[in-house]
Structures are given as C-alpha cells and as structure tokens.
Amino acid sequence: MVLIIIIEVTCAGMRTMGRTVRAPRDAGVGAVRSVKDIMAEQYFAAEPTSKDVRRTMRVALRGREADVETSNGVFSGSRVDLGTSVLLRQAPEPPETGDLLDLGCGWGPVSLALAAESPEARVWAVDVNERALELTASNARRNGAANVHVTATDEQGAPLADQPLDVCEAMPDDLTFDAIWSNPPIRIGKEALHTLLMAWLPRLKEGGAAYLVVQRNLGSDSLIPWLADALGEGYAVGKYASSKGFRIIEVLRK
C-alpha cells in the first residue's frame, strides 16, 4: 500500500512539494516516489493500478453542459483540467464534417465538445489508457454523442491493430484528419512527447489544423520552433492564443 504523508519525515522519507510518498516497508530504505511520479504512472499506463472508483459530475464544455463519469487513474479525474479549459475556450470552430482527432482523450471532455459542435463529423478519441477510453465511450453514450469513436494506442502513440476493449475500434492506417485538438501529456518527457506528436501531426489533411495547449513554463515556447523544424516546409507552426499561463499552438498543413 502507498502511504502519502503530509509532514516532514526522516530516513526513507523525502519531502516533495509538502507531500511524501513512501513505498511499502518491504521495498527497502530509500524507496521513495513523488506523488507526480505515481500520478504519471497511472494515467500514462494502459492499465492503471489505482482502484476504479467511478463518480459523476456536470461540466461545461464550450458553453454546453454535459453529465460525465470519471475515475481514478485517468488525467484530471476530478475536474476539467485548466489547460483543457483554455483549449476549449480559445480554439476556433472545428470543421463541420470530416474526421477530427482528440489526441490523449482522458475521460473525454475534448471529444464531447467536438462531437457536440460538429455532429456530422467523426470524432476519434485516442489514448493509451484503457480506463480513459472506457470513460470516453460511456460519456459519449451518456450525452448522445454517437459520432465519437475510441481507439487504443501503444505507448508510442501508434494505434493498436488489435483493440483491447469492446468499446474500441481499429483505426484505418490511411486515415487523415481535418482537425486535431490536444492537451498533450507533457510530463511523459520531451523525447516521448516528440514521438507522440510526430506520430499524429503528419496525419493532418492539406488545409487541416491542429491546436495544442501547453503550459508556458513546461516548454510551450521551445516546442513551437521544434515542431516547425520537425514537420518541415509543408506546415506553418505558431502561437495562436495565450491565457492563464498556457499557450495554444497552431499547426497548419499547407
């Protein structure tokens, strides 16, 4: 069992932002992990080890209310994340038709917003986290969003040929997207993030646009020139908007 202590400890303990996580006693002295490390392992994992405790809440997504179910072990399981809220407020209207991608869907706030705003489009929600995919699928059903399709990926972000859940469907290899919206998992690390983004951004259709929300102090401004260089001359990359310490990065395929 993991123990979270809110006091300063000694020996095997270590203070981290006022909170300490100690491994089980048989793990040995010094086996200490931060809360952020454990949270990352949870929502970046295909099968979270935390207890699946479902709860419901009502949220506002681009001016529309939705009743949703969330749980432990998924990104921002207790609320709409601030970065996601900034993305939903600042991103332009999505295409009315075509294929739209929610990259790193979590429990589905972006997918639900896209599906409600573009009911004639197909919204593809992708994530490595199977619990997140189950929640997105159930939240889509709960809110009548029949145009949401969920797809599981591997740890590098590539769609799995064999989908692990009944609610998931395989994605065509040649599928391209009219729009991509994402609050990408910055805390997976720079190399893994770059791999993830380069697995999906080249799948934009000509004339398509991606909108990524990234916290400024987590590297949004350095990500812009990196993307421009990695994607090449066929793309235009720049800052679209800023709010509450976040940047919205726009990627246009020419």
How many C-beta atoms surround the C-beta of residue 150 within 10 A? 28
Average per-residue pLDDT for the chain: 87
pLDDT band at 202 (very low <50, low <70, confident <90, very high): very high
Spatial CA neighbour of 39 closest among 21, 57, 53: 21
Secondary structure in 3-state letters for the chain: CCEEECCCCCCCCCCECCEEEECCHHHCCCCECCHHHHHHHHHHCCCCCCCCCCEEEEEEECCEEEEEEECCCCCCCCCCCHHHHHHHHHCCCCCCCCEEEEECCCCCHHHHHHHHHCCCCEEEEEECCHHHHHHHHHHHHHCCCCCEEEEEECCCCCECCCCCCCCECCCCCCCCEEEEEECCCHHHCHHHHHHHHHHHHHHEEEEEEEEEEEEHHHCHHHHHHHHHHHHCCCEEEEEEEEECCEEEEEEEEC
CATH fold of 37-253: Rossmann fold (3.40.50)
Spatial CA neighbour of 135 closest among 12, 48, 27, 19: 48
pLDDT, tens digit, 9 for 90 and up, residues 40-91: 455 778 988 889 999 999 999 999 999 999 999 999 999 999 999 999 999 9
Average pLDDT over residues 126-150: 98
Spatial CA neighbour of 112 closest among 76, 72, 160, 146: 146
pLDDT, tens digit, 9 for 90 and up, residues 14-49: 323 333 333 343 444 344 444 444 444 557 789 888
Tokens 């994340």 belong to 81
- What are the structure tokens assigned to 230, written together? 């990695």
CB of 73 within 8 A of CB of 131? yes
Does 177 have pLDDT greater than 60? yes
Q: 199 vs 66, 109, 118, 157, 195, CA distance in Å?
A: 31, 22, 24, 7, 6
Quick one: pLDDT at residue 23?
Answer: 39
